[in-house]
Structure 1
């Protein structure tokens, strides 16, 4: 059996040869400028060993991947009370859809569509204020990254998000009419736009994701990042809702809890085995990384890590 280093190297080699790389997001100007030839993969195994290939140490805008971290913080603050303001069900609609909010009285289907993430941002602003919540997200991510250098919030990206975020403003204002946004719209959206502008590498993203792989525990310090119950809830939502209206197809192809972002990143978790981050900026029709999804599918084929596999291979069996 090939070891993980060989597996990720082979996957990166295969991805470099792909001619169909999808389309980069062009509605946010900085994302439109990213080289579609980029590809990175990072696997952090249960022992904390990194297995890297491609552009794994190049920083990119994680965009909606940050919703995982915002949700984790909100659960630590309010626990199950947050489910009064956002549901736990797949939407079946585009990530920025406004259609369901009217019939469902301003309560978003889940915390990973834009409307749901805006509600989560509102919860964080209620506790820490706009600037305090921004710092809490930054502290959370840098505290879990084993190599945090370069992890930051890109102010230019946040400004561009604000200048092009008309639909997000519409979502927030519409939910405000139902009383589901408590703070001034500008403050809640400011946090949301800065959250989406978090910038890090595949290595850092995989390092941060390890707390889900371990059931809520920081792999290196042993401190509790969140409860086992919350970690399970987050991963369940990643599986059902982490790829928007492409979540079912991702579950079938990959079979791991995963969350995507329009910057081309995907975080996937093999519970108890590995935290995986991939990045390729070209997107498919659902707004998820085209090659990132393919790379994860190949990884699962080679490792057997799908949660639907009754006999998953451990890292020890692979190496």
Structure 2
């Protein structure tokens, strides 16, 4: 279903207006103090089409903590470092559990279900630290997202990173538990410090949608290849099946796009070959995904036909 550029601009503006006045906004995350201070009335959306056209509305230029969306970029870097050897240490199946669950690690011998739950992303950081020091790994991540977005203004919010360290006791438990099973090889403190800094990346909707273009474009952006087409397709597949924790099936059912959420209220979604999309609203549903963000994406695919399950031709 082809949608004219002028129609996309209208749809994006309409959705932003609808979300602005929506009464049920979810609940802002409170377990990381800086996130609890973000006003619940925020909403931003940015849609970047395959030809580079940008359509944005609402609070699309306001930075927010991308949190677990950073796991998409960490996965890309980890696959670049060790290739398919990664899958000996991290699974590729939906978890069906909360993003910070420790239960499955007992029965599955310290192997996280997928790279998008917290335990999986902690393993990704350990993989990267097999070749780099923490400062180097954090710098590599920052350079990577800046290059993807074409924006050197992207930064890590050190206040959020410190708050993560001060409150991240469950993540510490996950890391130590995996260390006991031999699936964390490096110093647990260094691995967690890297993980917390990745989660503390601050980006706005426009920057995040720009950074996701390589997954929309079969692994390349403007003729520059970031990953192979096969790897981009597989990352998208993992986003579709695992990108929203125990809400992933419902997200696929309602929206039908690969996507990754974060408890800062952001969602990165990909319409392969068509658009890279970022939405942000800090109020979360019970599974830790942006309530209005999911609603906005649902309305976007209803009006454009961009769901990957929509018949083409």
- TM-score band, normalised by shorter chain: over 0.9
**Partner in structure 2 of residue 59 of structure 1:** 63
Match of 1:254 in 2: 255
Instruction: From 187, 190, 193, give the equivalent of 1:187.
Output: 190
| Alignment correspondent of 1:161 | 164
**Structure-1 residue corresponding to 2:215:** 212
Aligned length: 309
Q: Distance in 2 between matches of 1:304 and 1:275?
A: 14
Who is 1:303 aligned against?
304
Q: Supply the distance in 2 between the matched residues of 1:227 and 1:134 (Cα, whole angstroms).
A: 23
For 1:132 and 1:32, locate their aligned partners in 2 and report how far apart those are by CA, in whole Å.
30
Match of 1:128 in 2: 132
Tell me the residue number matched to 2:24.
20
Residue by residue, what CA displacement relative to the aligned partner does 1:73-129 show, whole Å, maximum 9, x if unpaired?
A: 001111110000000000100000000001101000000000000000100111111
How far the C-alpha of 1:148 sits from its partner, in A, is: 3.6
For 2:206 and 2:258, how far apart are their aligned partners in 1?
Answer: 18
Residue 310 of structure 1, CA deviation: 1.1
- Following TM superposition, by how much is the alpha carbon of 1:147 offset from its aligned partner in structure 2, in angstroms? 3.5
Per the alignment, residue 96 of structure 2 pairs with: 92
Unaligned runs of 5+ in 2: none
Task: Work out the CA distance in 2 between the residues paired with 1:239 and 1:8.
Answer: 22
The correspondence for 1:172, drawn from 175, 178, 188, is 175
Report the alpha carbon displacement of residue 218 of structure 1 after superposing the two structures with TM.
Answer: 2.0
Query: Is the CA contact 1:148–1:204 (under 8 Å) kept in the aligned structure 2?
Result: no
Residues 145-156 of structure 1 correspond to what in structure 2 (within 5 A)?
A: 145-149=149-153, 151-156=154-159
Ranges of 4+ aligned residues in structure 1 off by more than 4 Å: none
CA distance in 2, matches of 1:25, 1:142: 26
3-state SS of paired residue (1:247): helix
1:146 CA displacement:
2.8
Deviation at 1:135, TM superposition (A): 0.3
Q: Deviations over 1:2-54 (max 9, x none)?
A: 61111100000000110110000000000000011000000000000100000
Give the distance between the partners of 1:91 and 1:144, measured in 2 at CA.
Answer: 29
Matched, 1:73 2:93: no
Q: Quick check: 1:304–1:311 contact (8 Å CA) kept in 2?
A: no
Which residues of structure 1 form unaligned runs of 5+?
Answer: 313-319
Q: If the length of structure 2 is used for normalisation, what is the TM-score?
A: 0.97
Q: Residues of 1 paired with 2:85 and 2:41: CA distance? A: 43
Taking structure 1 as the reference length, the TM-score comes to 0.96
How do residues 265-284 of structure 1 correspond to structure 2 at under 5 angstroms?
Answer: 265-284=266-285
The answer for the alignment partner of 1:103 in structure 2 is: 107
Which residue of the partner structure matches residue 237 of structure 2?
236
User: Considering only aligned residues, what root-mean-square deviation do their CA atoms show, in Å?
Assistant: 0.9
Instruction: Give the secondary structure class of the aligned counterpart of 2:220.
Output: coil
Displacement of 1:60 in angstroms is 0.4
What SS is found at the alignment partner of 2:270? strand
